Amino acid sequence: MLKDLLEAKKCFKLVCGAGNEDAAEVEKLVMLYAKAGCKFFDLSANAEIIDAAKRALESAGVDDAYLCVSVGIKGDPHVNKAVIDYDKCISCYSCDAVCPQNAIKYAKVKKFRCIGCGKCAKICPKGAISYISEEKNLEEILPPLIQKGIDCIELHAMGLDDREIELKWNYINENFDGILSICTSRGKLSDEKLVQRIKNLTANRKPYTTIVQADGFPMSGGKDDFKTTLQTVATAEIVQNENLPVYLMLSGGTNTKTAHLAKMCSIDYHGIAAGSFARKIVRPYISRDDFPLNEFIFNKALNIAKKLVES
Ligand code: SF4
Ligand code: SF4
Which ligand is located closest to the Cα atom of residue 111? Answer: 2
**What does the pLDDT read at residue 69?**
95
The Cα–Cα gap between 254 and 276 comes to: 8
Do residues 48 and 112 share a domain?
no
Where is mean pLDDT largest: 30-39, 75-84, 219-228?
Answer: 30-39
Percent of the chain with pLDDT over 70: 98
220 has a pLDDT exceeding 80 = no
Let me know whether 45 and 97 are in one domain. Answer: no
In the structure, what pLDDT confidence band is assigned to residue 170 with cuts at 50, 70 and 90?
Answer: very high
Ligand 1 pocket test target in 85, 95, 98, 122 with most atoms within 8 Å of CB: 95
- Per-residue pLDDT at 135: 76
- Residues 145, 110 share a domain: no
Any ligand 2 atom below 6 A from CB of 124: no
The verdict on 198 and 266 lying in the same domain is yes
Which residue lies with its CA nearest to atom 1 of ligand 2? 99
Residue 184 pLDDT class (50, 70, 90 cuts): confident
Q: How far is the CA of 98 from the centre of ligand 2 (A)?
A: 8
* pLDDT tens track for 267-298: 999 999 999 899 999 999 999 999 999 999 99
Task: Decide whether any atom of ligand 2 lies within 6 Å of the 128 Cβ.
Answer: no
Q: Which domain holds residue 105?
A: 78-133
Q: Which of 96-100, 188-192, 250-254, 289-293 has the lowest mean pLDDT?
A: 188-192
Per-residue pLDDT at 130 exceeds 90: yes
Q: Are residues 88 and 129 in the same domain?
A: yes
List pLDDT tens digits, range 14-54.
Answer: 999 888 999 999 999 999 999 999 999 999 999 999 999 99
Residues 49 and 195 in one domain: yes
Whether residue 77 has pLDDT greater than 90: no
When divided into structural domains, the chain yields a total of 2
Whether residue 111 sits in one domain with residue 219: no
pLDDT for res 18 = 84
CA–CA separation, 235 vs 240, rounded Å?
9
CA-based nearest residue to 153, from 68, 66, 45, 47: 68
Mean pLDDT computed over every residue of the chain: 92
